[in-house]
């Protein structure tokens, strides 16, 4: 996936916006998320109530697992900025991260992100999904969780682990199934609670 991101970047010229521009940009007043993908701003509307509910549930599960393990060095945080790659002009805002540094900062370097979680919405294009996964691989983030909660369809949870330069899917669960998700510590995910 790392090669995929670089290939995308070089097939078309990188956009004019740098990670430094993204860091200096004002937060949208309406709660929209402003990300930077290959030098182009990508703004998504504020997360819906159901999206936020799922993210809160996952955040609670991660924080409970951190506490149960006695890991004071790890922190689960929703919706923080991660400047993924300066050369590839990419900075993302995962729905949830697990970091291994003090939380008193504006953004978190990829080297401190042990897990990135994306709750996909129907509006996320396949290209956007692939680009984000490739960006996380490029940044060497060890674990990624992807969650799909399409209206009227089963929830799908997938957990990935970085193997060399690509992610390998380790678990998949659908409505009603429970799995132990890969990550810096075990987290049990009951998909029936993610709706």
| Residue % of the chain over a pLDDT of 70 | 94
The pLDDT, as a whole number, for residue 6 is 57
| Residue % of the chain over a pLDDT of 90 | 76
* Tens digits of residue pLDDT in 66-88: 999 999 999 999 999 999 999 99
Q: Residue 170 belongs to what H/E stretch?
A: strand 166-174
The pLDDT, as a whole number, for residue 144 is 98
Cβ neighbourhood burial of 151 (10 Å; 0-12, 13-18, 19+): exposed
Q: Residue 42 belongs to what H/E stretch?
A: strand 40-44
Q: Which residue has the tokens 């674990």?
A: 143
Whether 164 has a pLDDT exceeding 70, the answer reads yes
* Tens digits of residue pLDDT in 116-139: 999 998 778 888 899 999 999 999
Please write down the long-range contacts of 49-54, taking CB distance under 8 Å and 24 or more positions apart: 50/149, 50/195, 51/95, 51/119, 51/121, 51/149, 54/119, 54/147, 54/149, 54/194, 54/195
Integer Cα distance of 99 and 116 in angstroms: 9
Topology classification of domain 2-193: tt1808, chain A (3.90.1570)
| N residues, the chain | 195
The pLDDT, as a whole number, for residue 2 is 58
Integer Cα distance of 163 and 173 in angstroms: 21
């Amino acid at each position: 996936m790392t090669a995929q991101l670089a290939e995308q970047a070089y097939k078309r010229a990188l956009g004019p916006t740098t990670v430094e521009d993204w860091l200096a940009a004002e937060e949208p007043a309406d709660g929209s998320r402003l990300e930077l993908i290959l030098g182009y701003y990508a703004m998504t509307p504020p997360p819906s109530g159901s999206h936020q509910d799922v993210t809160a549930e996952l955040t609670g599960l991660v924080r409970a697992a951190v506490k149960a393990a006695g890991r004071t060095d790890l922190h689960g945080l929703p919706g923080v900025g991660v400047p993924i790659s300066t050369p590839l002009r990419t900075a993302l805002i995962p729905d949830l991260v697990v970091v291994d540094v003090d939380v008193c900062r504006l953004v978190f370097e990829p080297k401190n992100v042990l897990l990135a979680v994306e709750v996909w919405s129907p509006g996320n294009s396949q290209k956007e999904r692939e680009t984000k996964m490739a960006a996380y691989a490029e940044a060497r983030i060890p674990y990624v969780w992807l969650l799909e909660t399409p209206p009227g369809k089963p929830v799908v949870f997938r957990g990935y682990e970085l193997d060399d330069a690509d992610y390998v899917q380790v678990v998949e669960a659908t409505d009603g199934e429970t799995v132990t998700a890969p990550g810096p510590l075990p987290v049990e995910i009951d998909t029936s609670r993610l709706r």
